[in-house]
Each structure stands twice: as C-alpha cells, then as structure tokens.
Chains A and B, each alone.
Chain A
Amino acid sequence: MDDTIIAILRSGTPLIYVTLAGVIAQRAGIWHLGLEGLMIIGACATILVITATGSVAIALSVAILLCVLTSILFWFVVEKLKANQIIAGLGLTGLGLGGTTFAVEAIFGSQAAVSAPFGLPRLGPWFGSFGSLSILVLLMPLFVFGMWLLLRRTRFGLRLAATGEHPFAARSVGVRTDLIRLSALMIGGVLCAIGGAELAAGSLQIFSTNMTAGRGFMAFTAVIFGAGHPIGATFAALFFAIVGALGIRAQLLFGDRVPHDLLLGLPYIATVFGIWLSAKLRGGTRAISNFGELRDS
C-alpha cells in the first residue's frame, strides 16, 4: 500500500505543480498548451546545472529563470502579436522538446540521457518509508493552498478572473489586462520549472530527452477537468497519477498477458476519458479552440 501511495505522489507531484501553472494561465484567459515545453526546460536545466555546478539552489534558480524567460516570450507572441494560443503553445512545446534535445546532443554528443550525481533534498528517515520522496512533495499542498488564496482571496486574483472572463470589462475599469496576463504566465513559468525539477531530480536524478511524455498536456486536461479551480484541478491531476500508478501495478500483475507498451497508454486513455467526462458534465459549449479566436482584441 505504501508503495502505491509513494508511486502516486512521485508521479503526481510534478503533474500538480504544472497543473497549477495551467490553472493560473487559464484564469487569465490563456489556454496554455506550452506547459509541456516549459516543464521539460525546467527538468533539463535542473539536471544539467546540478551536474555542472553541484548546487541544487543554483540549478533551481536557473531552471526558474529559463522558464520565466520562455513564458515572457510566449506572452509576447500571444498577447502582443495576437498569435493563436493553441498553435503558439504547441510551438512553445516543440521549442522546449527540441531545445532540450539539442542542448543534450550539443553537450554530450548522441547520448539520450544525463544523470546527475544527486537530486533535490529528500524528506529523510524521519518520514519512514516516505523518506525517499523529495521535499517538494511535502510543499505541494502548500502551493495548492497558496494558489487558491491567490486566486480567491486577493485583489490580484479578482483582476485575474476579470481578465480571463471579460477582458473588455476589466480594461474599462482600468485593469492592465496585458500585464495581468504577463504576471500569470510568469508565475506559471516558476511553477512549471518546479514541476520539471521535481520530475527529473525528485526521485530519478536523470534527464532523458522527451521525458515529460505528454505530462504537460495531461496537466492541461486536468485544468479543464477541474474547471479551472486550483483544488479541483489538483484532484484531477491526482486522478491521472493514480491511473498511472495502477498501470504500473497492472504491469506487474498482468505483464505476461497484456502487452506492456499498451498498459503505458493508460494515462492517455484516462486523459481522453477525463476530457470526455468534463464535456459531458458541463457541456462542451466553450471549446478551447474557439475561445482563442473569439477573444476580443
């Protein structure tokens, strides 16, 4: 039982951090399909900098800095150049996946994986069998709660909601919607960097190319599934993590009967199921693809 919970927390924590980034972007009216790209940039930067400098603090700062800078680029393209959010987001993801592959190839040759000598600080023996988890797992509920506070209990959160739901009204009372969106995306960049760091350095201490394997898109689905609410989206992300952990379990149990590669697809099937269910529950009237286009300028 402990093993399963550890596996869920291990795969769920990076997903939840990235989901929070998606929540804040969605609240600001941006459908953020670049989460995957930001996440892998965070993961890659963390491992490479740990290997180069031996300091986790520097590694995290570099990862955060890179993700925030990339987020600013995304904001500029989407907000200032009025690019289509979906395509620009996919471009950002491609930039992250291609850029990290490129970086690894440029530094290490044709090698596809880099391992760091050590990862993020662990919880330690005081937590018993959970001691092998990183401290970011313990901080995760705080981040979720903090996000809820930020969105629901602050002036900034209110302006953010206004920006996302009715930008015209927000502007008419003097809210700088472009700056609100910028700050939302920058906060999202920080969260994606943390999620990526946790993914790469939380337990494995390895970066391999394309290691995010669609987690950014799963986080995006969790946002839709959770109706943009931080706590709802967190539970949606947790659901995906549980399905993933069950998939690993199922491999151990039925590995000889069901092909292993197909069990790996369970989280993706769960994601499709999630998007179908949320469309059923809330009616899929406001499809994301239309939203990006009909947004007023």
Chain B
Amino acid sequence: MSERIVAIVRALVFIVIALALCGIIFSIAGYSATQMFEAIIEGAFLRNGALTQSLRWGLPLFITAVGVAISFRAGYFNIGAQGQFYMGAICAAFAAEWLNGLPPLIVIPICFLAGMTGGALWSLWPGILRLRSGADEVITTLMGNFLASLVLIYVTSGPLKDPSGSGQQASSRPLDAAYRISTSYGLSPTIITIALLVFVSMWLLVNRSAFGVLSGLAGRNPTMVTWQGARLMNIGLASFVVSGALAGLAGTIELMGPNGRLASGFLPTHGFTAILIALVANMSITGTAIVAFFFGGLSSAALYLPIIAGLPSSAIEIINAAIALFITAKSGFVDRVLRLGRRGTWTTR
C-alpha cells in the first residue's frame, strides 16, 4: 500500500518539475509563468462551470486512457490511441450517414457498435503484426496514427464532405440533432452513463477476471505465462482489440456528443494525453479515472490560456509533452522492473 503512495507522490513530484520547466520556458519567451498557472487552475477548477468542463474533456480521455492502460499492462506499447480514436469516429460517422432517417434508438447503438469496431480493427492489425511476426508495435501504431489522420482528411474532404462548409477546415455534415447524445456543451447523462459502464466493466475485467490476471502477468513476464499454459497470442490480441475498441468508443462519443460532426484534424492530441493519463495513473483503472479528471482540467484550461495569460493555446501541448518527458522517471515501468524480484502486486489494481 505504501509503495503505491510512493509512486503517486513521485508522479506528482515529476509533474511539478515538468510544470516548473514549462514556467521557465514561458518566462524566457516573455510570458508570465504565474499568470499561466493562474489560468490553468482557474480554467480547470475555479471558474464558474469549469468543473463540468473538466468533466466534459475528462470523460472521453478517461475511456481512451483505460484502453491504453489495458494494453500497457499486457506489455504492449500500443501508442496508436489517436488513430484508433479517429477510426472510431470515422466509422461511426459513416454509419450515421448511411442510416440517416431511421429512428435514433436504432441509429445510435449501431453508430456506437461501428465506432468500437473501427477502433478495434485499427488496433488489430498492429497487434497481429506484433504477435505473429514480432514487428514492433511502437512503430506500427504510430504509423497507424499518421494513416488514420490522412484517412480523416480524405473522408472529410471526399465522401462525407459538407458541401455548405467553409473552405477553412474540411468537415462532414453535422449530425441530425436527434442522433446527438449531448449538446455542444458536451456533458449529458448518456455520456456519464457510458463512462460509468466503462469504468465498472473494465475494473471488473482487470481486477476480477482471468484475463486481467493473465494480461498483467504477461506484461511482466511473458515466458512464465506461456509456461503456465495460457495463450499469449490470445491475451495479446484481446488487449489490442479492447484498447482499440475503447479508443473508438471515445471517438464516437466525441463525434455524436460535443462535436456533432467530423472535422479534419479534430482533437489532435487526444491519444497522446490518454497515454500520459495511463502512465501517471500507473495503469490502474481507478487511478486513471482520477488522473483523467486532472488532465481534462488541463484541456479545458487551454481555452483560458490565451485569455488570462495571453499564451497561445499550443502552450498546453508543451505542458503535456514536458510531463511525458518526466513522468516515467524512476517510476512506473522502471519501478516495475526493479520490483520484479520482490513482488509484483502493483499492477493488480
């Protein structure tokens, strides 16, 4: 127990270091670092409605991050969450386009199914390449991200193009209001219910199922799992598929909820942020929920940075990247290796 607290404290320390580094960079660039922190805290938590906005950004991030955590636990660096997220949104948009006119009770579930399938398939091929041929999943999933954003550009400027749209950014036709699961405000009972369902089912999957135990073991010692008679291949493919399906689900939520349409290059840092969340939370499902709320706050604060501190909103990207640079320092994965000899309880939660 105390070890887990140590890990959390360590993660917090490195987040502070990363933020301090950003503060220094921004001060050199001539902005006020204190104003930046003010903007973040105010935009994330203090302003009127800031908490609900943090939740709005945090819930889809949480869903993607749970998927990332599941695949990282199994020992696969599936960093293609961004591409799977896009593919989910694209498939859901196609489903909505083809079924346009049918009652929402039929269309919405099918869209969700399509989105999750799209994400899962986009995660499956790197999984197969990894497990059958040993092609490293870091590169294949990364390339999958680039390919998916090209497909998104193609889809929004080709098959699903909104003819009435402005030339600025290619986007699809807006969804019919009946098919939306939330307003542009971005938070609705449906989305909260989905997130809760994901939380409960994934918590059970990780902590109370054979898959959870075996995939956690496979991440630490694949050879042993094979000797125990488990099929590494099936565990691996399942973790790829689950993580892809969750990213696709998040993409569907963003499409059918707050965004309401497919725009080329929307939310380009979603996947990367989700990876950070999973790492900060040390791959625990409960931890992911808490950390996602924090990073959701950072995302919603991005809107306030230009207003309060005069910073370009890309400053949030730098903050996230700096956190990524430091977050594994002497924590998470390295600790996993260091602690292997003694005990390996930390991934079970």
Residues of A within 8 A of B (CB): 33, 73-74, 77, 81-84, 86-88, 90-95, 97-99, 101-103, 105-106, 213-214, 217, 220-221, 224, 259, 261-262, 264-265, 268-269, 271-272, 275-276, 279-280, 283-285, 287-290, 292-294, 297
Contact = CB atoms under 8 A, between A and B. Distances in A.
Q: How large is the interface on B (under 10, 10 to 19, 20 to 34, 35 or more residues)?
A: 35 or more
Shortest Cβ-Cβ A-B pairs, 5 listed? A284-B134, A94-B321, A91-B324, A98-B317, A91-B325
Interface of B: 25, 29-31, 75-77, 79, 129-130, 133-140, 142-144, 146-147, 150-151, 153-154, 157-158, 272, 275, 279, 312, 314-315, 317-318, 320-330, 332-334, 336-338
Contacts of B79: 86, 90
Contact of A272 (B77, B129, B151, B317): B129
Most chain A CB inside 10 Å of its own CB: which residue of B144, B317, B323, B325 = B325
Contact of A279 (B31, B77, B135, B312): B135
Contact of A95 (B30, B321, B328, B333): B321
A202 B329 CA distance: 37
B312 A105 contact: yes
Nearest to A73: B325
Contact of A98 (B31, B318, B326, B333): B318
Given A261-B157, A279-B129, 12 more contacts: A77-B325, A83-B325, A86-B79, A90-B79, A102-B317, A264-B150, A272-B129, A275-B129, A276-B135, A284-B135, A289-B136, A293-B334
A280 B133 contact: yes
Contacts of A264: 150
B322 A287 contact: no
Given A94-B272, A259-B158, A87 B324 contact: yes
Given A224-B139, A284-B133, A265 B147 contact: yes
B134 A283 contact: yes
A271 B143 contact: yes
16 contacts: A81-B329, A83-B327, A87-B275, A91-B326, A94-B272, A99-B321, A106-B312, A265-B147, A265-B150, A269-B147, A279-B135, A284-B130, A284-B136, A287-B137, A289-B137, A297-B338
Given A214-B142, A276-B129, A98 B136 contact: no
Contacts of A82: 329-330, 334
Contacts of A293: 333-334, 336-337
Contacts of A276: 129, 133, 135, 140
A217 B146 CA distance: 11
- Interface-centre pick from A77, A84, A93 (highest chain B CB count, 10 A): A84
B214 to A, nearest CB: 18
A75 to B, nearest CB: 12
Given A94-B317, A261-B153, A261-B154, A275 B325 contact: no
Contacts of B275: 87, 90
A275 B77 contact: no
Contact of B147 (A99, A224, A268): A268
B77 A289 contact: yes
Consensus secondary structure, chain B interface = helix
A294 B338 CA distance: 9
Contacts of A283: 134
A102 B311 CA distance: 9
Contacts of B315: 98, 102
B138 A289 contact: yes
A30 B321 CA distance: 19
Given A101-B317, A289-B77, A83 B140 contact: no
Output the residue of A33, A217, A269, A289 with the most chain B CB within 10 A.
A289
Contacts of B154: 259, 261-262
Contacts of B324: 87-88, 90-91, 94
Contact of A217 (B130, B142, B272, B333): B142
A285 to B, nearest CB: 7
A220 B139 contact: yes
Nearest to B152: A261
A287 B324 CA distance: 21
Contacts of A88: 324-326, 328-329
A221 B139 CA distance: 7
Nearest to A296: B337
Nearest to A277: B135
A101 B139 CA distance: 24
